[in-house]
A and B are shown apart, each in its own frame.
Chain A
């Protein structure tokens, strides 16, 4: 790889650290009314990053990640209620457990679903969500059906109720980003990108496509399960329609697309923009209004910014540098050949 100018390299390391520092102090300085939005934004950001680990890198667009979210949420709810666990910080220990359960569930699901490709894969993943929604509704002995399960009360002081959730989510998000970053720069990650660009050729070149895809799905499901568990504890209740919700994954997909599919920072950026917009419009929740705004947003993003904010900005930035004669590298910040141009 071409040596980048020192300033660009420092910038690359400095930016994430600056953002992390800003995110860490944010709750201490921000208006408490923003707290809810911040908690949900981080949650969606973590979900979008974990979705991106599988779908962004392999190009297999999954609309079924709500399945793993749901398994995480139900694991949290069922264990805490059946074991009569008290609320409080201890329950957060169940978050990784929920992640592991979601990851285990991803093995058989991935084994079946990854036999399909392209369009069929997209559709079948969406259907999976409905199957599990139905199962969660009908297996009343385990899930209480549509009555839902109520989790133990957190017992947190209302003054700092949001803080534990905020920091735990920040932790999950940072972990997900680190894993995503590690995969992106590993040989394994290159294999995934090769699958995205041309699966048959990748296989011909010796990438173990089947195993690689499944492992990516398992990692992705692990994080998704953790997000689901935190979400369940945060809301205090779990219902089939609310966790096995196809709209949930579709919003996450939109976030990833908005920021930039397959980039590291894109999903986070998309989540921040979209979640804040959603909360803002959600406040004026009149029937139908919300769907119209969301639908319009979808159309605008997909038709005007199909490559996402990150790549569009990167292109503008590079064009500006070339024009101003700064002699910067023509390499985009994400080190990514513009975009998949197939079909």
Chain B
């Protein structure tokens, strides 16, 4: 292990971190949005990431549909799945939502893992396309085009999400639900409908993130354990329920990872990040953008 603290390595790390960070931001935004609106912790979110990656794989291998074009099919599919999951599994949880939701969604994640295991086995898969193998050079750092495309995709989707949240009537209902569920219901917002749609949007965003993840990382049906840890770390860092927090948290996390490995501490990069997260929690338990947890009424 050689340690090289030269500026070029650090620059590589920062650039790589920002590019991969936006992919994680896509996945984490869905999680944070769902948490903020439905008050549930959706462990299955990482399962949807893997499911979406496999969907893209199938579309690409069986029908030769381009990965990014395929999103036009996978995102609506995952949106539908989100509606279904919310209706069948999330809505019936009436009491102790947060605690029970973790276990229920963990069950969903296991189901996804099991079904994918039966269909595809545990062999590691990779999404293939010309832009995954081709790339360009920045400084002495080789970047595959897919990172750039995924970055653009993430920016477009996140911009669309922000527009939806802050410029439309639906977005206003969503934000009202985030602030106070009961009050939102009292002023006539259809809480169940908004919750279902938000959940489905979160899952669909995750699907886009899943495709980008699959194009940049080898995956199998067990990968969701690793992903969910990272996503959780991101939303804790950014502040639970905060959409901008998920974005910032993802970028901070991946930049930390990539800079630590670019200067030579490859195996230690997660430890450095998680250590920093633990330190942050000592001084700011609610994360960067989070609000202090108060007693529920």
Contacts and interface: CB of A to CB of B under 8 A. Distances in A.
Contact of B103 (A200, A293, A302): A302
A138 interface: yes
A293 to B, nearest CB: 8
Interface residues of B, number: 56
A286 B225 CA distance: 20
Contact of B93 (A118, A138, A298, A302): A302
B225 A246 contact: yes
A63 B111 CA distance: 19
B92 A298 contact: no
B94 to A, nearest CB: 9
A115 interface: yes
Question: Which of A199, A290, A296, A298 has the most chain B CB atoms inside 10 A of its CB?
Answer: A298
A304 to B, nearest CB: 9
B109 A295 contact: yes
Given A124-B236, A290-B114, A295-B111, A118 B106 contact: no
Contacts of A199: 295
B279 to A, nearest CB: 9
Nearest to B181: A343
Interface in B88-136: 89, 92-93, 95-100, 102-104, 106-111, 113-119, 121-122
A341 B95 contact: yes
A324 B78 CA distance: 52
State the main secondary structure of chain A at its contact with B: helix
Nearest to A55: B99
B107 A299 contact: yes
Given A134-B274, A295-B106, A298-B103, 17 more contacts: A61-B99, A61-B102, A118-B98, A120-B236, A120-B240, A120-B285, A123-B235, A127-B229, A200-B295, A286-B118, A288-B119, A294-B114, A296-B111, A299-B107, A302-B107, A306-B100, A343-B39
Contacts of B118: 286-289, 292
Contacts of A107: none
B271 interface: yes
Contacts of B235: 123
B225 A296 contact: no
Determine the interface band of chain A, counting residues with CB < 8 A from chain B.
35 or more
Given A123-B41, A138-B268, A303-B93, A292 B114 contact: yes
B293 A120 contact: yes
B124 to A, nearest CB: 14
A290 B115 CA distance: 10
Given A112-B282, A303-B93, A342-B296, A288 B240 contact: no
B192 to A, nearest CB: 17
A190 interface: no
Contact of B277 (A63, A117, A127, A293): A127
A17 interface: no
B281 interface: yes
Interface in B183-228: 221, 225, 228
Interface in A80-134: 112-113, 115-120, 122-124, 126-127, 130-131, 134
B278 A112 contact: yes
B106 A298 contact: yes
Interface in B67-102: 89, 92-93, 95-100, 102
A294 B271 contact: no
B264 interface: no
A66 interface: no
Contacts of A336: none
A253 interface: yes
